[in-house]
Amino acid sequence: MTVRTRIAPSPTGIAHLGTAYIAMRNLAIARQNGGQFVIRIEDTDRERYVEGAVDIIFEAMKWLGYPYDEAPDISGPYAPYTQSERLPIYKEYVQQLIANKKAYYCFCTKERLEQVRSAALAKKELPRYDRHCRHLTDEDIQKQLDSKAPHVIRLAVPETGVTICQDVVRGPVEFQNSGIDDQVLLKSDGYPTYHLGVVVDDHLMKITHIIRGEEWLSSSPKHVLIYEAFGWELPIFAHLPVIRNKDHSKMSKRKNDVSILSHRDRGYLPEAINNFLALMGWSHPEKKDIFSLDEFLKIFTLDRITLTAPVYDIEKLNWINGSYIRSLTDVELAERLSAGFVPSACSGELLASIVPLVKERLVTLKDFDDLASFFYLEPSAVEMTADDKEYLSVAKELLASCAWSKEGIEGSLIPAVKDHGWKNGPFFAALRLAVTGKKISPPLSESMVILGREKVLARLTLKV
């Protein structure tokens, strides 16, 4: 068996962190077994479709560094890989189910379905279709079709018995057929529902492993029943715990920043995002916290997945991201910063000199401008006390003639502070505020060396 895995995101807006979390696990299983990893776009929910969202998905996958083997943008042996381009396929296969009495036409109006739903709720029952059209005669069906009556096609779910989803993470999960609705397979607009589309596509594309979030576990009996209705071999199922907030509520794009590209724009490195997501619901066998995507792809196993919901812990992500920033060489970090995190006012030469000073302080790349803006922009006006101005007056006089180096600056200022009977803390705090406009900054002496004597003296002159 050639192992084939996939992700099948819907283009409904952002590229979700959860998609990456699932994608890297599918990629690992495919790579470990010499198989293929496929990206398929499930765009049959036309009401939620967002123009341009497909491009966002692929931009995110490429930024994270996930190599895929087949997809809409590179094609492959089972093209097309976009569901809206496969509509004739679904219609053909759903007709097979109708011919074999595994599916049926449903002509119920929206009004009737709402009445059925309201009646069930009034009885405090789970709203389900009452199978009104399941037993129509062939003559009744043909009459409706001839009149071009709007209709959907539903799966004829067995009314008794049990459907079992064999899950490699959770073991066998049983569902009573009496609680499974006769779900719609083909909508009135000719588009398949998720349930029909995903099963037909996974079968035709020879997907062997369905590794997805646990939110799809409740749909798994419907999918198993569709496989069985066609007489197809079942794939291997694995339903993974979904990412949660710290309060264990589900992460939602309406409430949380779950966008992959938003994290990129906020200055997180792809290596850090991958490392962070790798640790969700899984742990490194050597208990490592920092490891590469390549390492994860080689050692990830489904049997190490825990069913405890993984938590999006921003403090942990920040720590991981800072660790990766510090692992970069100064040249590498400057290159990363140059990709959108450094304003035009900061030249490449200036950036190269600043990087060693701020590297240890950066949590994300976006922190650079806040830490370093005083190097290329005049700091905002700050109010100085009488004591501060006395400190600055002495500092200005000494800085005008000392050797312009870290050693020269400190060798001139520190003894002077002692000679005046001052404390280092207040003196250097005032100097830092005057020169940088900040109470906290990169090392002050090294910063002044980069700024240059003329600029430092000019800033002190304004404050004295």
Known catalytic residues are 253
From the list 296, 242, 298, the residue with the least C-alpha distance to 270 is 296
CB atoms within 10 A of CB 114: 12
Within 8 A by CB and 6+ apart from 284, the residues are 278, 291, 299
CB atoms within 10 A of CB 51: 7
Strand order in the sheet with 171-176: 171-176, 162-167, 236-240, 209-213
- In 297-341, at which residue ranges do the beta strands (DSSP E only) sit? none
Query: Going by DSSP bridges, is the β-strand pair 236-240/209-213 parallel, antiparallel, or unpaired?
Result: parallel
DSSP structure string for 358-381 = HGGG-SSTTHHHHHHGGGTSPPPP
Give CA–CA dist 10/19, Å, rounded: 10
From the list 286, 271, 452, the residue with the least C-alpha distance to 376 is 452
- Angle, CA of 101, 104 and 109, to the nearest 5°: 165
CB 363 within 8 A of CB 318: yes
Q: Return the SS3 of 112.
A: helix
Beta bridge partners of 71: 75
From the list 358, 361, 371, 283, the residue with the least C-alpha distance to 318 is 361
Give CA–CA dist 57/12, Å, rounded: 10
Phi, psi of 326, deg, nearest 5: -70, -20
Q: How many CA atoms lie within 13 A of 84 on its CB side?
A: 11
Question: What per-residue string of b and e applies to 182-218 under the rule 16 or more CB within 10 Å gives b?
Answer: bbbbbbeeebbbbbbbbbbbbbebbbbbbbbebebbe
Give CA–CA dist 452/18, Å, rounded: 48
CB 70 within 8 A of CB 109: no
Inter-residue long-range contacts of 92-97, CB under 8 Å, 24+ positions, other chains counted: 93/196, 93/200, 93/230, 94/153, 94/185, 94/186, 94/192, 94/196, 96/230, 97/153, 97/155, 97/185, 97/229, 97/230
